[in-house]
Structure 1
Amino acid sequence: MEHFNAAPAEEARRTLLTCLDSPHWALLMAGHRPYPDLTSLLAASDEAAYDLTAAELARALTAEALPALPADTYAAAHTALNAAYAAYEAKFGHVFVICLDGLKPDAVLDHVLEGIRSRLANDPEEERPVAAEELRRLARGRLTALLSDGAADHRLSPPDEPDNQGEYPRPSP
């Protein structure tokens, strides 16, 4: 946390963009440093994420990747999910986002299937706050992973590779 608080503003913004691709959110987060602890940082992240405009939300959603499934997921599930992802993207204009933090690998497929099935029933106005909440949860998880256990002391710059579980691959800012 100390390294993040002391980093140059541009470096902090680039790092924050790996957690949520919203320049406005990253600027707010970097500009309100120093944070006394992770809890304060996460509260600020939530507040800034709740204030995303429709355009900022659309940009952040565009940058997201589909959630990865466990390697042993059978081919029929991949086919079904690809069809569901395509239907979701056609209906809402962005990829399906869902936070998988805290799930055991054997629960991921069921959680993704349940989520996409229920959310495909939403109209676009109902889905926007749901997708925004999932992005907020993803940002919290990414910030926690980035700044917990001294990880930020060793690597404040954005990672070049997906995280070690491959669940949230991020494009380079």
Structure 2
Amino acid sequence: MTRGPTLPAHRLPCLPKPLDAFNVAPADEADALLRRCLRNPRWSRRVTAHRPYPDLESLLAAADEAAYDLSAAEMAEALAGEPLPELPADTYSAAHMALSAAHAAYESRFGHTFVIYLGDTPPNESLDRVLEAIRSRLANDPEEERVTAAEELRRLARSRLEAHLRGSGPCGSAAARGATSHNATTPGA
């Protein structure tokens, strides 16, 4: 039995890369995405206004630069919108109480939410790392802590932005086809 001609392999259409989509999105959509990364309107407008970005590293560098330029009042505004770092679901209630007390002491001393970038910290170590950092940073003077909190907030914003745009790999990869991973359950992210 003879078969007919072989058809070419089916290829998925090449969808826009997340960075390309970000570059051409309406300004209000790009601004909304950026505000989920760092809650400051001047920062998000500045990063939006400098589009298009040739690559993810250029975008992240611009986001870093814009974060470094925030005034103390703008930093306070961004910090006010930050959630507390999350704990793993199976954390004991005593740990929640210890963390709540540490947060209260921190907020009383510095007037804003404690922020920390946990990066690749395993979930089972996040509580210890957060408590250790709060206790350590409570010894900072207010100016030193403002600088530390600003750096942690910049790192959080960078991490969030990178997670939103992680799929900017070559066309045809799973990431470029829309299988992006949002690390919403990462503590502090």
After TM superposition, the score normalised by the length of structure 1 is: 0.88
5 Å-filtered alignment, 1:59-98, equals 59-98=77-116
- Over the aligned positions, Cα root-mean-square deviation in angstroms equals 2.0
- Decide whether the 8 Å contact of 1:146 with 1:152 is kept in 2: no
Corresponding residue for 2:123?
A: 105
What residue ranges of structure 1 are gaps of 5+ in the alignment?
A: 155-161
Aligned residue for 2:167, secondary structure, equals helix
Aligned to 1:40, which of 52, 58, 66?
58
Identity %: 61
Equivalents in 1 of 2:161, 2:136: separation in Å?
28
Count, aligned residues: 163
Report which of the two has the higher share of helix.
Answer: 1
Counterpart AA for 1:167: P
| 1:21 positional shift | 0.6
Equivalents in 2 of 1:47, 1:35: separation in Å?
14
Post-superposition CA distance 1:62-102 (Å, at most 9, x none): 00000001112111111111001001001111110001121
Equivalents in 2 of 1:11, 1:81: separation in Å?
36
Q: Which runs of 4+ in 1 moved over 6 A?
A: none
Confirm whether residue 27 of structure 1 aligns to residue 11 of structure 2. Answer: no
What residue ranges of structure 2 are gaps of 5+ in the alignment?
A: 1-18, 169-174
Equivalents in 2 of 1:115, 1:50: separation in Å?
22
Equivalents in 2 of 1:127, 1:152: separation in Å?
39
- Decide whether the 8 Å contact of 2:47 with 2:63 is kept in 1: yes
After TM superposition, the score normalised by the length of structure 2 is: 0.81
**Larger relative contact order (C-alpha < 8 A, sep ≥ 6)?**
1
